[in-house]
């Protein structure tokens, strides 16, 4: 049912549209034109006023066929932005059947492979006259910038019974049925300045205090469901001055919210104890970036996706992801959502690539999901 040549050409066209995260104005226009031409209802929110992205989130609604008016309303979601470097992508198809960039940029299969599959899904449904319920296609901006688009979306804008993100690593057919809660952590350690050569004993080195605090924290892999990491340790000054201030920025994640809160407590306690020992002070705060979710094979939307994969001869595997996606935010809004594996490899690097065969499989999978969903009734 899927037209491989058309699908590949669509993908090649999409990845050549510049859309680095927060700079999605051009790709948003292209998508509105493409989905509108396929007869969908086009909507966009006002999220860019809050997200700072060039584009709003987009939603395209395909009406149900007459015989599926009572079918569940489903949605698929992808993001329109890419990581850097993503300007001037020059895609090429190798003799091995993989699509790559020229090695100077990312390819953008994360997540334009998903968008190409969406467009092909609509065309196949229409050309083959496949019965289907209402299908919504939600394409977000700023996903690669801590889910800015979906985090800025008004709750309730998307209304659906369940849905699927097309935005996970792994073999096509696999399903991310769980993803973690994530918090950003912000710490400021305040010491006391002094001349480092004349009277260092009168100072309190914020660098030393912060180093002690971090050394006491459980970091890295805490357990199979929990991780923590620092990405910023910032202090700037002359070597002859005892450092008075250090800023730390990190994160903590867990599939279990209680474990996340316990980890945050341990990080705070480590800071406070190090400061108390050395006479310093600290400010500790955290921000919940997105909620987690967890399903198993008994969930109806999981069973449906597994059935669609099996009909294609795939062997679906359910797995727990350590990364977040827009699926986290939609679950937080009460729409059961899992994340489908796309088959792309080495994403977020200039070595990113995807097999033509996997591009086709993803499109076939979403067609299968739409077809099976259309056979159900609320």
Q: Beta strands of 263-360 (E only): which ranges? A: 281-290, 293-294, 318-320, 337-341, 353-355
DSSP string, 85-132: S-SS---EE-TTSEEE--SSS---HHHHHHHHHHHHHHHHHHHHT---
pLDDT of residue 244: 97
| pLDDT (0 to 100) of residue 378 | 86
Round to whole Å and give the CA distance between 299 and 210.
Answer: 45
24, 81, 144, 244: the catalytic one is 81
Query: Along the 378 residues of the chain, how does pLDDT read in single tens digits?
Result: 899 999 999 999 999 999 999 999 999 999 999 999 999 999 999 999 999 999 999 999 999 999 999 999 999 999 999 999 999 999 999 999 999 999 999 999 999 999 999 999 999 999 999 999 999 999 999 999 999 999 999 999 999 999 999 999 999 999 999 999 999 999 999 999 999 999 999 999 999 999 999 999 999 999 999 999 999 999 999 999 999 999 999 999 999 999 999 999 999 999 999 999 999 999 999 999 999 999 999 999 999 999 999 999 999 999 999 999 999 999 999 999 999 999 999 999 999 999 999 999 999 999 999 999 999 998
Query: What is the pLDDT at residue 206?
Result: 98
* 81 in catalytic set: yes
Q: What is the model's pLDDT at position 339?
A: 98
Q: Of 20, 24, 54, 143, which is the active-site residue?
A: 143
* DSSP-assigned states of every residue in 204-229: B-HHHHHHHHHHHS--EEEETTEEEE
| 166, 342 Cβ separation under 8 angstroms | yes
Q: Is residue 110 among the annotated active site residues?
A: no
* Helices and strands (H, E) in the chain, number of each type: 10, 17
Distance separating alpha carbons of residues 127 and 342, to the nearest angstrom: 24
């Amino acid at each position: 049912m899927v037209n491989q040549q058309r699908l590949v050409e669509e993908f090649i066209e999409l990845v050549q549209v510049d859309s680095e995260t927060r700079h999605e104005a051009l790709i948003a226009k292209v998508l509105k034109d493409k989905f509108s031409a396929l007869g969908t209802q086009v909507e966009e929110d006002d999220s860019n006023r809050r997200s700072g992205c060039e584009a709003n989130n987009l939603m395209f609604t395909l009406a149900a066929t007459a015989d599926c008016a009572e079918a569940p309303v489903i949605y698929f979601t992808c993001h329109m932005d890419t990581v850097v470097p993503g300007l001037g992508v020059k895609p090429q198809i190798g003799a091995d059947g993989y699509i790559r960039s020229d090695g100077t940029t990312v390819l953008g299969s994360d997540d334009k492979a998903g968008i190409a599959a969406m467009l092909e899904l609509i065309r196949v449904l229409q050309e083959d006259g496949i019965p289907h319920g209402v299908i919504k296609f939600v394409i977000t901006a700023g996903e690669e910038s801590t889910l800015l688009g979906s985090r800025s979306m008004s709750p309730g804008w998307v209304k659906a019974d369940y849905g699927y993100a097309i935005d996970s690593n792994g073999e096509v057919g696999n399903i991310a049925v769980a993803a973690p809660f994530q918090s950003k952590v912000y710490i400021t350690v305040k010491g006391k300045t002094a001349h480092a050569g004349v009277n260092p004993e009168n100072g309190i080195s914020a660098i030393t205090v912060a180093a002690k605090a971090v050394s006491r924290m459980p970091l890295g892999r805490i357990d199979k469901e929990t991780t923590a990491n620092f990405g910023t340790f910032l202090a700037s000054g002359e070597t002859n001055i005892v450092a008075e201030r250090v800023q730390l920025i990190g994160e903590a994640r867990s599939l279990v919210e209680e474990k996340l809160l316990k980890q945050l407590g341990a990080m705070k306690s480590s800071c406070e104890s190090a400061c108390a020992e050395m006479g310093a002070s600290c400010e500790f705060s955290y921000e919940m970036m997105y909620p987690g979710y967890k399903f198993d094979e008994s969930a109806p939307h999981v069973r449906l996706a597994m059935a669609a994969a099996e009909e294609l001869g795939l062997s679906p595997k359910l797995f727990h992801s350590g990364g977040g996606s827009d699926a986290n935010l939609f679950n937080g809004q009460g729409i059961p959502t899992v994340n489908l594996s796309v088959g792309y490899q080495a994403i977020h690097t200039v070595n990113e690539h995807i097999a033509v065969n996997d591009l086709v499989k993803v499109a076939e999978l979403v067609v299968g999901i739409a077809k099976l969903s259309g056979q159900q009734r609320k």
